[in-house]
A and B are shown apart, each in its own frame.
Chain A
Amino acid sequence: MSEAVDRLLSRVPLLKGLNPREMKVLREHLRPRQLAPGQLLFNEGDPGRGCFVVLSGRIGVYKKLRDGKAERLAVLTPGALVGHMALIDNKPRSAACRAEDTPVVLVELQRAEFDQLFNAHSPFAFKIVDRISTDLTERLRAATERLTEAHRTQDTRQRRALAQAAAEAVNGQAGVVDLDDIDLDSITVEVTTDFSRRMRTPIG
């Protein structure tokens, strides 16, 4: 993968500070994926087969409410990690993710491969579990803070705003990713070229 993709990956908060050997392990296990505008990445309730990094475009995170309608909980942009709980447990996806109004390019790390690395005591896998644990702790703390406030207020508008803030804490992009010096268009071209060369069809 190109220098541009490498640089983008190194900006992902969860992947920051991985040493060259660990980045090499990561790169060896990443598979390119692409989505057309509006295309589903995975549905709520689907088995969690892996996690993704957004390289270009925007992903919407949607949850089905009790009236059957889908509510958008967050939007994920380049540098964001998607679905990383799948690397920890084997439970169904807690929300749906789909490409918004743009095509989306991602890379995928599959759970089966990650498990192999973890069981082989790969320092890369250990570091990722460490990072994910810290990330999950922080999301939970931020969300429960907002929800505690939401339940204390009588103002329905404020309660809704706090619930939305909690949704962003759980499902949104952790950490601001500075990508100003990275050519995202070239990444799109590179990954989609690589993609068609490998002639791999997207699964699930």
Chain B
Amino acid sequence: MAHPLQAFFGRIRLFSTLTADELNDVLRAVRPVQLPAGQRLFRQGQAGDAAFVVESGAVEIYTEGPGGEVVVATLGPGEVIGELSLLDGSPRSASARAQGDTSLFRLDKQEFDFLRQNLRPAAYKLMRSMAMTLCDRLRETNDHIGDLLAPPPDAKAEAPPARAKGGWLSRVLFRGDR
């Protein structure tokens, strides 16, 4: 019998390559979370121990730095937050909080690791999808490195630091800058 959340999750790109059975594996481990408006979901720098999917409402992703707070994205229903932390639990690169009253689904890294250790195809399909995101970021990084290594147009003048094109790398490199 299909899990009631199959239809909702099946439309999300990260989960789109999973079969119904594989999706069930994941959904069994997913838990609902309710956040009142303004409540923080996680903080920049905290160890990443879960991924989230927005069910209703919206989540603001923001960075905190010497220049103050910068909202870098607002994520709505069907969007995934923090999935890369499932790979290695690395510190959150930004903070997240509920914009209005928001409900989400939470997948703990521990649950994901259990699927991974048991060689469940669901875990590896998700991992491959996440690795695709990492590949895109590495390519973006490589392109930016090329820009930094290019000789300046005027050999005498100092080249201004090249701002990174693309959203993700700019956010990482200039976190908190105004």
A68-86 to B contact mask, C-beta < 8 Å, 1/0? 0001010000000000010
**Which residues of the partner chain B approach A151 to less than 8 Å between Cβ atoms?**
161, 173-174
Residue contact B145 to A166, C-beta cutoff 8 Å = yes
**Which residues of the partner chain B approach A94 to less than 8 Å between Cβ atoms?**
138-139, 142-143
**Which residues of the partner chain B approach A95 to less than 8 Å between Cβ atoms?**
142
- Which chain A residues (144-159) contact chain B, with CB distance < 8 Å? 144, 147-148, 150-151, 156, 159
Given contacts A133-B130, A136-B131, A137-B84, A144 and B159 within 8 Å (CB-CB): no
- Which chain A residues (112-131) contact chain B, with CB distance < 8 Å? 118, 121, 123, 125-126, 129-130
- Which chain B residues (129-156) contact chain A, with CB distance < 8 Å? 130-132, 134-139, 141-151
Number of A-B contacts (CB under 8 A): 120
**Which residues of the partner chain B approach A64 to less than 8 Å between Cβ atoms?**
146
Q: How far is the CB of B111 from chain A (nearest CB, A)?
A: 16
B101-143 to A contact mask, C-beta < 8 Å, 1/0? 0000000000000001001010010011011101111110111
**Which residues of the partner chain B approach A160 to less than 8 Å between Cβ atoms?**
148-149
Judge whether A67 is part of the interface by a CB distance below 8 angstroms: yes
Name the residue on A nearest B128 (C-beta). Answer: A129
Judge whether B90 is part of the interface by a CB distance below 8 angstroms: yes
| Cα A3 to Cα B84 with chains together (Å) | 38
Judge whether B87 is part of the interface by a CB distance below 8 angstroms: yes
**Which residues of the partner chain A approach B69 to less than 8 Å between Cβ atoms?**
none
| Cα A143 to Cα B149 with chains together (Å) | 14
Judge whether A91 is part of the interface by a CB distance below 8 angstroms: yes
Q: How many residues of A sit at the interface, in one of the four size bands?
A: 35 or more
Given contacts A91-B135, A163-B145, A166-B145, A65 and B150 within 8 Å (CB-CB): yes
Residue contact B172 to A66, C-beta cutoff 8 Å = no
**Which residues of the partner chain B approach A67 to less than 8 Å between Cβ atoms?**
150-151
Residue contact B124 to A147, C-beta cutoff 8 Å = no
| Cα A71 to Cα B172 with chains together (Å) | 25
Name the residue on A nearest B153 (C-beta). Answer: A67
Judge whether A111 is part of the interface by a CB distance below 8 angstroms: no
Considering the complex of A and B, which 9 residue pairs feature the smallest CB-CB distances, nearest first?
Answer: A163-B148, A136-B134, A65-B150, A133-B131, A88-B131, A126-B124, A85-B135, A89-B132, A94-B139
A88-B134, A136-B135 given. 5 additional CB < 8 A pairs?
A: A89-B136, A91-B136, A126-B121, A136-B138, A151-B173
A-B contact pairs, 19 of them (CB 8 A): A63-B142, A65-B149, A71-B149, A88-B132, A89-B131, A89-B132, A118-B128, A133-B134, A136-B135, A137-B88, A139-B138, A140-B134, A140-B141, A141-B90, A144-B172, A147-B145, A148-B173, A151-B161, A159-B148
